[in-house]
Chains A and B, each alone.
Chain A
Amino acid sequence: MQRLNRDAIIAIILLAFCGVFFLSSFDIRQPDYGVLMPSTWPRVVIGVLAFLSVLYLIQSTSAGAEAIEDDKYDAEHTRGPGFRGWLGHWRNPLWCFFLFFLYLLSLPILGMLIGGITFVYVLMGVLGGWDGNKPILHAVFAFATIGGMWSLFTFGLGVLLPPGMILGQF
C-alpha cells in the first residue's frame, strides 16, 4: 500500500505543479501583436502534463502495489526506521547536495579555486572516510585535479573564473 501511494503522491504533486504554473501563466503579459500569445504554448504543455498526470494517478491507484517496482538500490537495501533511517539510506546523495550547496554559497568568498578544492576534498572525505593516509591522498587529488582544471581554464582557455574575496585581493 505504501509503495502504491508513492506513485499516487507523485501524480498529485505533478497536478499541483501544473496548477501553480497554470495560475502563473495568467501573469504573462499579452502583447497586442503576434498570433501565438506567449501564454498559449505553455498552457498547451501544462494541459498535456495535467492530462498525463491524471492518467498516471489513475494508473497508480488502479494497479496493484506489486506492479510498482522499487529501483535496484532500494530493493537491495532495507531502510532503517524513522527519519534517521531515511537519512542513513540517502546519506551519500544528501552529502553531495549539501556540500555542493555550500560550495555555491561560499563561491563569492572562497572563489572557484579554493572553494572547488575544499568541496572536492571534503566530499572525498565524507564519501570515502578519513582513516589512514586518506586525508593526505585526498588533498593531493583535490589540489592536482581542481587546481589543474582551474589553471587550464584560467591560463589555457582565458576564462575568468570567480576569484572570490580571498584571491581577489591579489
Chain B
Amino acid sequence: MIIENTIAAFVELGNFKTILLMLVGVAGGLIAGAIPGFTIAMAIVLTLPFTFGMPPSMGLATMVSVLVGGLSGGLMAGILTGIPGTPSSVATTFDGFPMARNGEPGLALGIGVWSSFCGGIISAILLMTLAPQLARVGLEFNPWDYFMLVMFALTITASLSGKNMIKGLIAGAVGLLVRTVGEDEAVGMARFNFGNDALLQGFDFIAVLIGLFAFSQLLNDVRDPKIAKKALTERGVVKVRIEHRRAIVEVLKRWTIVVRSSLIGVFTGILPGAGGSIANILAYDQAKKASKHPEKFGTGIADGIIAPESSNNAVEGGALIILMALGIPGDVTAAVMLGALLIHDIIPSPSFITDEPVLAYSIFIAFFIATFMMIGMQSFMLRVFVLVTRVRMYVLASVILGFCGIGVFALHNVTFDLWTLLWFGILGFVMRHFGFPLAPMILGVVLGNIAEINLARALAITSDLSPFVTRPWSLFFLIIAVFSALFPLYVGQREKKKTWTVFFMPVACFAASIPLFMMGGSARTVLAAIVLCFGFYQLWRRWQNGWRFEAEK
C-alpha cells in the first residue's frame, strides 16, 4: 500500500511544471530564509495566493518546497554575516560564524547544508512512516477528545511562546473569538456582524494570517527609520564556494549528533507550539552536554553547526506529522500549510491519509524531493543571496506590502479581505509591541471552528459533560493541558526552590499514566507503566536528595 501510494505520488509530482515550481519554491524559500527579519512562515504565507489556481498536489508541493528552502536558508545569513536569517538558525551562528571568520566559510556552509539535508531526510522518513500510524490512533478520537486536543494545543502554545503566559492565553482566546465572527458553522446564525453584511462571511483566515504575521512583521522591520534605510546586512558578505566533499565527511563522522538532533527536531515539531526556534537551541545544548570537549563549542567547531541545522530541518517533518494525521497544526508554519489545504477544499483529519492517499503521499514525497533540490540549489542561491543583501529594507518591505495586497485579493476576489489585512496588520503590530505572542492567536483563529464544531458534536451526542473527563484520550489531553499551563509557573518557582515544584513532574507522570492505563491494550499499558515508573523514580531521586532537585554539596 505504501509503495503503491509512493509510486502514485511520484507520478503525480513528476511533471515538468511541478518540478519547475518546486525549484522556484526552494529558491524563494532559501532567499526568504536567508533574509534577516523575514520568517519562513511569511514566505509561505506570501506563496499561498499563487497556489490557489493550481491543482492541490502542485500547489502543496510548491509550498512544501518553500518551507524546505526556508528551513535551510537561515544558515547562509547566520554563517556568513553572524545574523541568523530565521529564529530557527540562531544556534547555527554560535559556531558557524566563528568557523567562517577562522577562514573556512565554505566548509561551514557545507556542513550546514549537509546537516540540513540529513535532518530533512530523517524527518521525511519519519513523516512517511509515523503519520499514517498516528492517523490510525487519531481514528479513535471522538468529538470530546478532539475538543480537548485543541485546548491542549492552545494551552501549550501559549505556555511556550512567550515570557508571560497570561498574555499568550489572552492571545489564544482573542484568536478563538475572532473565529466566531460571521455565520456559525452549525446552524448558520449571524454572530458579531454589527449590522455589516461583509462580516457575515467572517474574517478570511488567510487574510487574517497575512495581516497578523506578514503585514505586522514588515511594519516592525521598517519601524526604525535608520535601519529601514540600511541594506539588509551591513556586514560585507564574502563570495565563497561550498566545500561539499569535506563537509560530507565531517557530517558522516558525527552521525550520532545528526540522528540525535534530528530526533529532537522531529519531537519538538510534534509538540504543538514548539518550533525550530526552540529545537535548534535544544539540539545545540544537547550536543554540547554530550561532547567530550564542551569548552570548544562557540569557537567554530563542526558539532556546533551540525546539531542546530539537523534539528531545525527536522522540525517541520514533526509538525507535518501532527497536521497530516490529526489536522492540528503544530506551529504557525503548519497553520499556514493547513490554510493551503483548506483553500484547496481539503480538510486534514485522521481519515485524510486513507481518503486522499495520493495527495497525502504527494506532500510526503514533495518534502523528500525538495530536500534534495535544496542541496543542488544552495550553491547557486548563495550568489543571489549576496545580491539580495544589498537591497534596502524599506524597498523590500514596500514591495512586499504591495504583493500582500494583490495576493490577498486574488484569493477570493473580495475587497473586504484587503480591509481585513489592514486591520489585522495593525492588530498584529500592536500585539507585538505590547509583548503578546502571535502564535497562540493564529492557532486560535485556525482551531476555533474545530473546537466549536467538536463541542457541538459532543453535545449533540449527549448533553452530559462527563465524557470530557471519563474518556481516556480526552482526560489525557486535559491532564497534559493543565500541566503544560502550569509549566511556566513551575519553571519560575523551581528557581526560587519552592517545595511544591519538587513534586510537579512526578505528579504529572502519575496523572498522565491514569488515562494511558484506561486506554487498555498491551502497548499503552506498558507505556503507562513506564510513565508511572518514571514518576516513582523521580520521586525517589528527590527523596534521596532530601526533597530537593539536587543533593547539596
Question: Which chain B residue shows the least CB distance to A60?
Answer: B166
A35 adjacent to B459 (CB under 8 Å): yes
B459 adjacent to A53 (CB under 8 Å): no
Q: Identify A104's interface contact among B190, B402, B422, B433, CB under 8 A.
A: B422
Least distance between A21 CB and chain B CB atoms (Å): 7
Complex interface residues of chain B between 403 and 450 (CB less than 8 A to chain A): 403, 405-406, 409-410, 413, 415, 418-419, 422, 425-426, 429, 432-435
Least distance between A103 CB and chain B CB atoms (Å): 7
B190 adjacent to A29 (CB under 8 Å): yes
Chain A residues lying within 8 Å of B451, measured Cβ to Cβ, are 41
Q: Identify B456's interface contact among A36, A45, A55, CB under 8 A.
A: A36
A124 adjacent to B395 (CB under 8 Å): yes
B173 adjacent to A45 (CB under 8 Å): yes
Q: How far is the CA of A162 from the CA of B228 in the complex (A)?
A: 31
Chain B residues lying within 8 Å of A53, measured Cβ to Cβ, are 170
Q: How far is the CA of A29 from the CA of B426 in the complex (A)?
A: 31
A150 adjacent to B406 (CB under 8 Å): yes
Contact A116 B180, CB 8 Å, known A53-B170, A127-B397 = no
Contact A123 B422, CB 8 Å, known A36-B455, A52-B170, A153-B410 = no
Least distance between A30 CB and chain B CB atoms (Å): 8
Q: How far is the CA of A11 from the CA of B170 in the complex (A)?
A: 10
A124 adjacent to B219 (CB under 8 Å): no
A71 adjacent to B433 (CB under 8 Å): yes
B398 adjacent to A38 (CB under 8 Å): no
Q: How far is the CA of A123 from the CA of B191 in the complex (A)?
A: 37
Question: Which chain B residue shows the least CB distance to A53?
Answer: B170
Q: How far is the CA of A71 from the CA of B392 in the complex (A)?
A: 23
Q: Identify B405's interface contact among A56, A74, A97, A103, CB under 8 A.
A: A103
Q: At the interface, yes or no: A61 with Cβ under 8 Å from chain B?
A: no
B53 adjacent to A119 (CB under 8 Å): no
Chain A residues lying within 8 Å of B52, measured Cβ to Cβ, are 157
B406 adjacent to A153 (CB under 8 Å): yes
Q: At the interface, yes or no: A79 with Cβ under 8 Å from chain B?
A: no
Contact A145 B399, CB 8 Å, known A38-B191, A52-B166 = yes
Q: How far is the CA of A77 from the CA of B433 in the complex (A)?
A: 14
Chain B residues lying within 8 Å of A101, measured Cβ to Cβ, are 422
Question: Which chain A residue shows the least CB distance to B169?
Answer: A52
Q: Give the bracket for the number of chain A residues in contact with chain B.
A: 35 or more
One of B126-134, B181-189, B200-208, B539-547 at the interface: B181-189
A159 adjacent to B187 (CB under 8 Å): no
A14 adjacent to B187 (CB under 8 Å): no
B contacts with A: majority SS: helix
B225 adjacent to A91 (CB under 8 Å): yes
A contacts with B: majority SS: helix
Chain A residues lying within 8 Å of B255, measured Cβ to Cβ, are none
B170 adjacent to A14 (CB under 8 Å): yes
B170 adjacent to A49 (CB under 8 Å): yes
Q: Which residues of B contact A (CB under 8 A)?
A: 49-50, 52-53, 163-164, 166-167, 169-170, 173-174, 176-177, 180, 184, 186-187, 189-192, 194, 218-219, 222-225, 228-229, 392, 394-395, 397-399, 401-403, 405-406, 409-410, 413, 415, 418-419, 422, 425-426, 429, 432-435, 451-452, 455-456, 459-460, 463
What 9 pairs between A and B have smallest CB-CB spacing? A127-B394, A38-B189, A36-B456, A49-B173, A120-B402, A123-B398, A42-B180, A35-B459, A38-B184
Give 12 new A-B contacts, CB below 8 A, not counting A28-B192, A112-B406: A25-B192, A34-B460, A36-B459, A38-B184, A41-B184, A42-B191, A52-B170, A128-B392, A128-B395, A142-B399, A145-B399, A145-B402
Q: Which residues of A contact B (CB under 8 A)?
A: 6-7, 10, 14, 21, 24-25, 28-31, 33-36, 38-39, 41-42, 45-46, 48-49, 52-53, 55-56, 59, 69, 71, 73-74, 77, 91-93, 96-97, 100-101, 103-104, 107, 112, 116, 119-120, 123-124, 127-129, 138, 141-142, 145-146, 149-150, 152-153, 157-162
Selected A-B contacts with CB under 8 Å, 14 pairs: A7-B434, A45-B173, A56-B166, A69-B163, A91-B225, A92-B224, A96-B218, A96-B401, A97-B219, A119-B401, A123-B401, A127-B229, A153-B406, A159-B410
